[in-house]
Amino acid sequence: DQQVKQNSPSLSVQEGRISILNCDYTNSMFDYFLWYKKYPAEGPTFLISISSIKDKNEDGRFTVFLNKSAKHLSLHIVPSQPGDSAVYFCAASGTRGGADGLTFGKGTHLIIQP
């Protein structure tokens, strides 16, 4: 049973527009959430995180929103750039920063079209 779900295997967005990637979770014990980006033949790279005590965290073009009551988070990328084309993984942990390991979604392949 998947505890972290990314229901869109792929998403295509035009360059310059906003990309919105969604993630749902089922385990109410999760209290720290992260987004990772992965290029082919490379390991996942940390992008941005959010603690359950917040509902928004922003870092440059990347913003993560958390709705605890709905057990839903989203990653917004604006404006989208060609280099953003990658697979994005949502991850969750019961402790801050994933010190006890991360539970990952299956990923969303984001394609930025020129």
Partner 1 sequence: DAGVIQSPRHEVTEMGQEVTLRCKLISGHNSLFWYRQTMMRGLELLIYFNNNVPIDDSGMPEDRFSAKMPNASFSTLKIQPSEPRDSAVYFCASSANREAEAFFGQGTRLTVV
Contacts with partner 1: how many residues (CB under 8 A)?
23
By CB under 8 A, tell whether 99 contacts partner 1: yes
By CB under 8 A, tell whether 105 contacts partner 1: yes
By CB under 8 A, tell whether 54 contacts partner 1: no
Residue whose tokens read 């392949």: 109
By CB under 8 A, tell whether 16 contacts partner 1: no
What are the CA-CA distances from residue 65 to residues 40, 46, 47, 56, 77 (Å)? 26, 16, 14, 5, 11
Q: Quote the least distance from Cβ 53 to partner 1, whole Å.
A: 13
Of 17, 56, 106, 113, which lies in the binding site for partner 1, with binding defined by CB under 8 A? 106
One character per residue 31-50, x = contact with partner 1 (rule: CB under 8 A): ---x-x----xxxxxx--x-
**Residues of the shown chain interacting with partner 1 in the complex, contacts defined by CB under 8 A:** 34, 36, 41-46, 49, 89, 95-107
